[in-house]
């Protein structure tokens, strides 16, 4: 993409309504535009990041054997009355009527709808285990939407639902999801800590939230500092092996880590004082096991192979896809703007032409652009007739992790400059070497 042809409405002024870094930078970088309170249009740059995050979520769900579906955003209230949640859910649910006077609602979550799909089509234990998931827009009518996409009313979310014959099987599904989430967040350049949490209106006894530590987090968290030394890395896990998944759960949840709703001061005090930490955290996902709560209410049963009709055991598992865009910025930025991790960057690198109109500089930039594109990479070429400072400012604000700077002075010596956005370090090298360096960086990112 050439910047002269791209729609990137960068703002020079700091938006007054932005209270936290991610909201401010998403507006300044031209990623979003507010449509109404807590509801945003996603502009090209923001939409590309949203899709990068969504792709990672899909890939990790597929790796675990989970199956994607798509459910509607508008649901009938009848299902929610069956489960008993229609009146209990609260004012966050947007309740509407269709032209026939039927009670409808804009989906805040989809346990009822997916259970209805299951009960209509699955009758035997032979069809289990089964996990269905979607990535879909949701709506919760927050009293005070704020912080941009971090606490909006409309949000993009992955919600998955497992159906299993026994509690033991369902807890394996729980553990399997924990493993997929650890992989998912690390691919996005995040350390998301699983913390014992409160289940809220979804219900269930077993639940962990995944939180990214950040000063602007809405939750107070308490944890053993040893947990921040853990990484999942590139290890391969057999998702059909309950023992392997259980071992990962124990590794990442055996140390104390809780949100303020479940914090236990007595247990916390048992940790050596030098390892006790309290901080703020941003919730980016949650996993639940809630047993037969919905299958009992909605009649989702299977033949257990012994002639009995038994309710299936269920859990639900969510990732805030749109919220992750803000969380990544909160965790990765500086005073100049965003710093995208390589796994989610909208463009793999920026090409800055210091002297647009100079034949040699133009030709070198075109060659770099063609070479990177031929390798399957997406560069953003700033070919505008702007001063160098403005070009650098734009690249710093939008946060591409690597920049190749091309100017007549360097070309006389046969070199261009490759700069890391994260460290600010620059290195001069021939253009062919610059292409090879960028390609090598992204080769191992999957």
**Final residue before a domain boundary, out of 338, 372, 389:** 338
Query: What's 165's DSSP letter?
Result: S
Together in a domain, 315 and 368: no
pLDDT in the model for residue 203:
45
Instruction: Classify residue 319: in a domain, yes or no.
Output: yes
Contact 176, 188 (CB under 8 A): no
Q: Could you give the CA distance from residue 264 to residue 153 in angstroms, rounded to a whole number?
A: 31
pLDDT of residue 202: 45
Three-state secondary-structure class, residue 137: strand
User: Where does residue 196 rank: exposed (0-12), middle (13-18), buried (19+ CB within 10 A)?
Assistant: middle
CATH label of the domain that carries residue 390: 3.40.50.800
- Residue 197 is predicted with a pLDDT of 79
Statement to judge: residues 178 and 32 lie in one domain: yes
Q: What is the SS3 assignment for 346?
A: coil
Same domain, 356 and 303: no
Running DSSP on this structure, what letter comes out for residue 326? Answer: H
* Rg value, the chain, Cα: 24
**257 is a domain residue:** yes
Q: In terms of domains, do 322 and 182 share one?
A: yes
* One domain for residues 298 and 357: no
* Burial category of 279 from C-beta neighbours within 10 Å (exposed 0-12, middle 13-18, buried 19 and up): middle
Determine the pLDDT at residue 378.
Answer: 97
DSSP 41-74: EE-HHHHHHHHHHHHHHHHHHHHTT-EE----SE
Question: Is residue 207 located within the same domain as residue 239?
Answer: yes
Domain stop point among 297, 319, 338:
338
Helices (H), 375-430: 388-398, 408-412
**pLDDT tens, position by position, 358-398:** 999 999 999 999 999 999 999 999 999 999 999 999 999 99
Rounded CA gap, 131 and 266, in Å?
Answer: 37
Nearest to 366, CA basis, from 416, 420, 425: 416
How long is the chain? 446
Quote the Cα angle for 104-323-268, to 5°.
Answer: 110
Query: What is the number of H-type helices and E-type strands within the chain?
Result: 13, 23
Rounded to whole angstroms, how far apart are CA atoms 307 and 320? Answer: 41
What CATH number does residue 216 fall under? 3.30.930.10
Give residue 17's pLDDT: 82
- Which stretches within 96-212 are classed as H helix? 111-121, 167-187
- Does 344 map to a domain? no
Which pLDDT does position 205 carry in this prediction? 55
Q: Are residues 314 and 375 in the same domain?
A: no
Maximal CA-CA distance, the chain: 83
Taking the C-alpha atoms of residue 189 and residue 345, their distance in angstroms, rounded to an integer, is 10
Contact in structure between 275 and 226 (CB atoms under 8 Å):
yes
Instruction: Answer whether 263's CB lies under 8 Å from 295's CB.
Output: no
Along the 446 residues of the chain, how does pLDDT read in single tens digits? 899 999 999 998 888 888 899 999 999 999 999 999 999 999 999 999 999 999 999 999 999 999 999 999 999 999 999 999 999 898 999 999 999 999 999 999 999 999 999 999 999 999 999 999 999 999 999 888 888 999 899 999 999 999 999 999 999 999 999 999 999 999 999 999 999 877 554 444 588 999 999 888 888 999 999 999 999 998 999 999 999 999 999 999 999 999 998 899 999 999 999 999 999 999 999 999 999 999 999 999 999 999 999 999 999 999 999 999 999 999 999 999 999 999 999 999 999 999 999 999 999 999 999 999 999 999 999 999 999 999 999 999 999 999 999 999 999 999 999 999 999 999 999 999 999 999 999 997 75
Whether 132 is covered by a domain: the verdict is yes
State residue 229's pLDDT score: 95
Is residue 185 in some structural domain?
A: yes
Q: What count of other Cβ atoms lies within 10 Å of the Cβ of residue 243?
A: 9
For residues 318 and 180, membership in a common domain is answered with yes
- Count CA within 13 A, CB hemisphere, residue 319: 27
- Do 204 and 290 meet the contact criterion of CB atoms below 8 Å apart? yes
> Could you tell me if 399 and 419 lie in one domain?
yes
Residue 343 lies in a domain: no
Domain total in the chain = 2
Strands 206-213 and 130-139: unpaired
The whole-number pLDDT of residue 446 equals: 56
Query: Is 324 exposed, middle or buried, given 0-12, 13-18 or 19+ CB atoms closer than 10 A?
Result: buried
Q: Domain range spanning residue 171?
A: 3-338
Residues 38 and 162 in one domain: yes
> Is there a single domain that holds both residue 318 and residue 369?
no
Do both 174 and 194 map to the same domain?
yes
8 Å CB contact between 86 and 152? no
Domain's final residue, options 338, 373, 398: 338
Question: HSE on the CB side for 258, CA within 13 Å?
Answer: 14
The Cα 70–Cα 113 span in angstroms is: 11
pLDDT tens, residue by residue, 299-357: 999 999 999 999 999 999 999 999 999 999 999 999 999 999 999 999 999 999 999 99
Alpha-carbon torsion 438, 439, 445, 446, what sign?
A: positive
């Amino acid at each position: 993409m050439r910047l002269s042809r791209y729609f990137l409405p960068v703002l020079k002024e700091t938006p007054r309504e932005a209270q936290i870094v991610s909201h401010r930078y998403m507006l300044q970088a031209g990623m979003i535009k507010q449509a109404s309170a807590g509801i945003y249009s996603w502009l090209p740059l923001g939409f590309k990041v949203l899709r990068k995050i969504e792709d990672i979520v899909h890939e990790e769900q597929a790796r675990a054997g989970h199956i994607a579906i798509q459910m509607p955003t508008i649901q009938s209230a009848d299902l929610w009355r069956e489960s008993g949640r229609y009146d209990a859910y609260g004012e966050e649910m947007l309740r509407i009527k269709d032209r026939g006077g039927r009670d409808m609602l804009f989906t805040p979550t989809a346990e009822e709808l997916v259970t209805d799909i299951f009960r209509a089509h699955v009758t035997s234990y032979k069809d289990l285990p089964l996990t269905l998931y979607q990535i879909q827009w949701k709506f919760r009518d927050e009293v005070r939407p704020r912080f941009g996409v971090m606490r909006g009313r409309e949000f993009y979310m992955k919600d998955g639902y497992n159906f299993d014959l026994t509690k033991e099987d369902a807890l394996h599904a729980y553990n399997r999801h924990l493993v997929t989430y650890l992989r998912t967040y690390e691919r996005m350049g995040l350390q998301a800590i699983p913390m014992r949490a409160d289940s809220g209106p979804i219900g269930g006894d077993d639940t962990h939230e995944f939180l990214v530590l950040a000063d602007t987090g809405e939750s107070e968290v308490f944890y053993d500092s040893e947990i921040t030394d853990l990484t999942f890395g590139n290890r391969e896990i057999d998702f059909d092996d309950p023992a392997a998944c259980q071992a990962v759960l124990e590794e990442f949840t055996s140390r104390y880590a809780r949100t303020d709703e479940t914090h236990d001061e007595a247990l916390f005090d048992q940790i050596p004082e030098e390892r006790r930490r309290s901080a703020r955290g941003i919730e980016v996902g949650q996993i639940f096991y809630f047993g037969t709560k919905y299958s009992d209410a909605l009649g989702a049963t299977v033949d257990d192979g012994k002639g009995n009709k038994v309710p299936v055991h269920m859990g639900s598992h969510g990732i805030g896809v749109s919220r992750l865009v803000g969380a990544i910025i909160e965790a990765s930025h500086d005073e100049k703007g965003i710093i995208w991790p390589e796994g989610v960057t909208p463009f793999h690198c920026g090409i800055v032409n210091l002297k647009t109109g100079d034949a040699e500089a133009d030709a070198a930039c075109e060659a770099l652009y063609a070479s990177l594109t031929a390798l399957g990479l997406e560069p953003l070429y700033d070919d505008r007739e702007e001063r160098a400072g403005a070009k650098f400012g734009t690249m710093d604000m939008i946060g591409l992790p690597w920049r190749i700077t091309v100017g007549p002075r360097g070309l006389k010596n046969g070199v261009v400059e490759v700069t890391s956005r994260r460290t600010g370090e620059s290195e001069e090298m021939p253009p062919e070497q610059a292409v090879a360096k960028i390609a090598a960086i992204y080769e191992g990112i999957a």
